[in-house]
Structure 1
Amino acid sequence: MIVAGIGCRKGATTESILDAIEAAAEASRTQIKDVVLLVTMDDKVGEAGMIEAAKRLRLPLHAFDLAVLRAEDRRVVTRSPITLARYGIGSIAEAAALAAVGQHGQLLTARFMNDQAACALAWKEDE
């Protein structure tokens, strides 16, 4: 199972979110069609660009609260000073992806960013 963890700025466009997902998929030598779930933090799940990206990809969109994401910070590889200062997590995208795959999953890619959105892919073996 491959999941895409997404972080974005307020008002991020659908295209910027899709571009971040595509960049992460390309870097991990996977295809977007292999992604089964989009995940983010709870205050981003209502973003119009996020909702539309999930619709275009025909994927469910799930959100985690900040406490769940902070619990994953020890496994996050990116250390964004801005995200650390604001949320206490190195990368929302990576933490969300890792939370979705659980303790036996792992990152396929560290986050890929553009000017509005970030995406990290995580993987775990199907059970």
Structure 2
Amino acid sequence: MIVAGIGCRREITADDLEKVVRRALGMFDLPADRLDAVATESDKATDPAFAEVSRRLSAELVACTVDELEEVGGQVLTRSNRVLEAKGVPSIAEASALVAAGRNARLLGARVATMLATCAIARGDGR
């Protein structure tokens, strides 16, 4: 299972989300049709842009609780002080990718960032 974990600022558009996901997939030479899921923190997952980007990419939308993100916090490669202060976890993008990828999840590399969003790609055996 291949998952794109996303962290972003408020008022994000589906175009902005799609851009960061495709950029992250490109870093690992993965075509978008290999993507199984898009994941983010549960509060962000309610933003209509996430439903739209999931539809565009034909990927399941996975909402991760802060508790789930915290459980994998020790496995992330990068940390955001802003996210740590706001949510109490070191990363939304990397942690969401790990949670949604499930058993034997591993990040393919550090997150990529645009001005509005971050995206990390993880591979795992599923939940």
- 1:6-85 to 2 correspondence within 5 Å? 6-85=6-85
- 1:98-117 to 2 correspondence within 5 Å? 98-117=98-117
Q: Which residue of 1 is the match for residue 124 of structure 2? A: 124
Overall identity of the aligned pairs, in %: 34
Give, in whole Å, the separation in 1 of the partners of 2:43 and 2:92: 11
Give the match's secondary structure for 1:122.
strand
Give, in whole Å, the separation in 1 of the partners of 2:17 and 2:8: 7
> When the two structures are aligned, how many residues end up with a matched partner?
126
Query: Match for 2:121: what amino acid?
Result: L
Alignment deviations for residues 34-78 of structure 1 (CA, whole Å, 9 cap, x no partner)? 111111111011112111111111221010110110111000111
RMSD (Å), alpha carbons: 1.4
Give, in whole Å, the separation in 1 of the partners of 2:7 and 2:42: 11
Query: How many Å apart are 1:102 and its aligned residue?
Result: 2.7
Query: Match for 2:57: what amino acid?
Result: L
For structure 1, the 5+ residue unaligned runs are none
Normalised to the residue count of structure 1, the TM-score between the two structures is 0.92
Query: How many Å apart are 1:89 and its aligned residue?
Result: 1.7
